[in-house]
Every structure is written in C-alpha cells, then in structure tokens.
Structure 1
Amino acid sequence: MFVPNQYREPNGSWMVDVIRKNPLALMATNSSPAEGSPPAGPFATHLPVIPDPQMTGEWADDLSGTTLLGHMNRANPHWAALETGSVVLLVFTGPHGYVSPTVYEMTPAAPTWNFTSVHVHGVLEKLDPGEETLEVVQSTVRAFEGEFGTGWDMSESIGYFHKLAPAVGAFRVRVSGADGMFKLSQEQAPEVRDRVQQSFAGRESSRHRETAELMSALPCPHAALSGPPA
C-alpha cells in the first residue's frame, strides 16, 4: 500500500486499534492453478480475524511477529486454493467518510475521502479441522462477545460447534509486516481540518462520527505522539 508520509500511522498501536475495532478483514491471495488449467484467482474473502489470544509480549511497530487467527467456509474455493506457507494480505478498513469542498470555505478546492486502513502481510498456516479449528471458533466468539456482544454464554452450544467444525477452515497467519494509512486531512491548514472534523461530528452516520473522533485524537504533524484513542 502506498502511504504518503503525512498519512502514515503515528505508531503501531494505531494499527492495532483499527484491527481490534474493525475485525472483518478482506483476505487476498494469488492462486497457483494446476498446469494446463486457466487462472482461478486472485481470490478475496471477507472474514473475521482476531489476534491470537496465546500471543504474549508487545506488538512491533510494523506488527511483525504477531499471530492472527481466522476462519472461512471450507466450501469456499478460496480455501482449496490456500496451502500452508501461502503468502496472504489482510486488509482492515477503519472509520472513513466523504469530504465535501463546502467545508473548506475556499475556492478552488477538490473533494476527497478521508479513511483509515491497515494492510497486513503474512504467511498462512492451515489448522487441524478438529480441536484446533474449534478453538479458533471459540476464541473468536470470546473476542467478539467481549468487544461487541452482550456477554453471550457459549457453553450450551459447544456440541453444536462440534457439528459445524468440519465445515470450517481455520488458519493462523504469522505477520511479516504491516502498513497503516490514516488519511485524515493532515495536509490541510489546522482551521480547515477542524471544520472537516466538526462536519463529520455533526453527521448522523456513525462512521462519520467515528472518523471525527479519530481526527480529534490524531496528533498534529509536529505534535508528540500519544497513541490511539480509548
């Protein structure tokens, strides 16, 4: 991903925040068709991804060394095209919104789109279709119920999970590096950037308000970096 310097993440914790709060990733891979067969890819699948709960230690600024877990339907042709050792790209999209030139209060001007995105590169490992896959499913439930749910107790559904597990393809990704782009009007004068932030904050759309919150927390280009919003 091309990231102009003014839009680069202040530090790795900002990318971690996007991944945790926006865990529906787009996984993209190239295919390796059998000899004589037409190309079948590239493949791309939207799927839930979580940090491996067994992971210990601090995240590196480029997220290298991190382990992520995910799963997809085994009936998906993408699963059949994957092999342990496949190089994958995981794209996480954070808050974003359209910027109308009316907020600039100047002419000439051009519209743009403010957005946040994290591109994670890594090597995939297919997991055992039995207990390893079941553990990924349970870890995903625990992570999402804790962050987005209402504390649902899965204990009475474990038997049902066992029935579903053979149809689930679980995997582990060992991250080799990541890039984050936080395009939030940093190129604009402070007063213009403030107007963009205020216009987003006043919108009914939750993603615009989330973008406004991120803009208000993002340090100015020459300010000290303080980490992601709470």
Structure 2
Amino acid sequence: MKKRVVIILTMILLFSAVTVYAGNAIYGYFNGYEKVKVLLNGEQMVSKIPGFIIENTTVLPLKTIAESMGAIVYWDEGKSLVKMIKPNVNMQLTANPVLDNGNYVIYSPFGKIPTNRRSGFNFSVYSEVDNLPNEKLQIKVVLKDPDGKLVEEGETKTFDATNEDSLQYVTPFKNIDFIKTGNYRVEFLLKSEATRGEFLKIGEKLILVK
C-alpha cells in the first residue's frame, strides 16, 4: 500500500514542501534499501544519491533539498558538522528606485506587464538581502521566460560579506521584450566557495505577462 509522507522544512524556508512517495519498492532499490520519489513543490527532485528508507525512516539528500530551497550548505569534516544558512531575500520590481540618504525609495512597484507595454520595457529590480554567509560572494540577477530560458542577465558583482551580512542591490533591465505569455522569473543568484563555484538561486520574483 502506498504511503505518503509530507515533510515541511520550516527551518530552511517557510511554505516550501517536500513530498515523499514510497511503497512496495516501486521505484527500485539503492544499495539494498527501498528508494523513494521526492517532489519539491510539485517537481521531482533529481540527485546523485536518491532518497531511501532504512529502519522505517526516510533518508533524504539534505544538500540537494536545501540548495533547491535557496539555502547554502557547509560541511565541517573535522567536526562532522553540517551548517545551513538561508539568506533572506526581498525583491521588488520598480520603474524608478531613488536613493535617499543611503536608502532606496521604491516608486511604482509592479508585478505584471500591461499588454501595450510588452516591447522595449525598462525596469529595475531592487533587492534587499540579509543573513548572508560570512565570506566573499558573487551575486547577480537574471530574467528568465516562462520556459526557463534566459532573457537577460544583470552584471555580476562581488560582495564581501565578512564585514557585513546584508546588502541593498539594484539591477537595471533595459529594452526587454516580453514575447511569451505566462510567468517570467527574476532570480537572485549567489556564488560562494560552498556552492562549488556555481551560482545558486536564493530568491525569485514573478512577473505575470498576459
């Protein structure tokens, strides 16, 4: 009989759900243990080491799940210690952010593109990020279409989080053509030593195009 276990990882990211399906070894075995199918927000998670069941306990690949939720995972081999850091990302889409006494003031925030303004659209992405890991980082913001294809990529910048764990960041996008209908994704990406030199998505904002 199929059993369904829902695990809510509130320590990593509120309202993100990991759903595990198992039963009668229908997904095969891993090193003699029954494998399970893992869905993250409805999408199947793929990892080198699958989830499996041992002694009636479901074991899941922590690093894969954590990074899928925008958390950065550190492994201290000397202490056999796993540390996870989940940066807090607040992104706003605006036509004109204004810097006033060291703080940005957001005018005309939006979340969808009017039909008559889908060509040559100019906007900026204002990002507030805190709880960053204590190391030098590279950051950038990218725009992807409803099919996940890259539309535009903002400038990559280096940020030294050893002195301060928060930042304000504005990325301009010029003359963007929103050709397809659906949800475009604005993604905030971070690269650090812990991400193995690859950019990791730690936040996103949707733009609805009808």
TM-score by length of 1: 0.22
The higher-RCO structure (CA 8 Å, 6+ apart) is 1
More strand by share: 2
With the length of structure 2 as denominator, give the TM-score of the two structures: 0.23
Greater share of helix residues, 1 or 2? 1
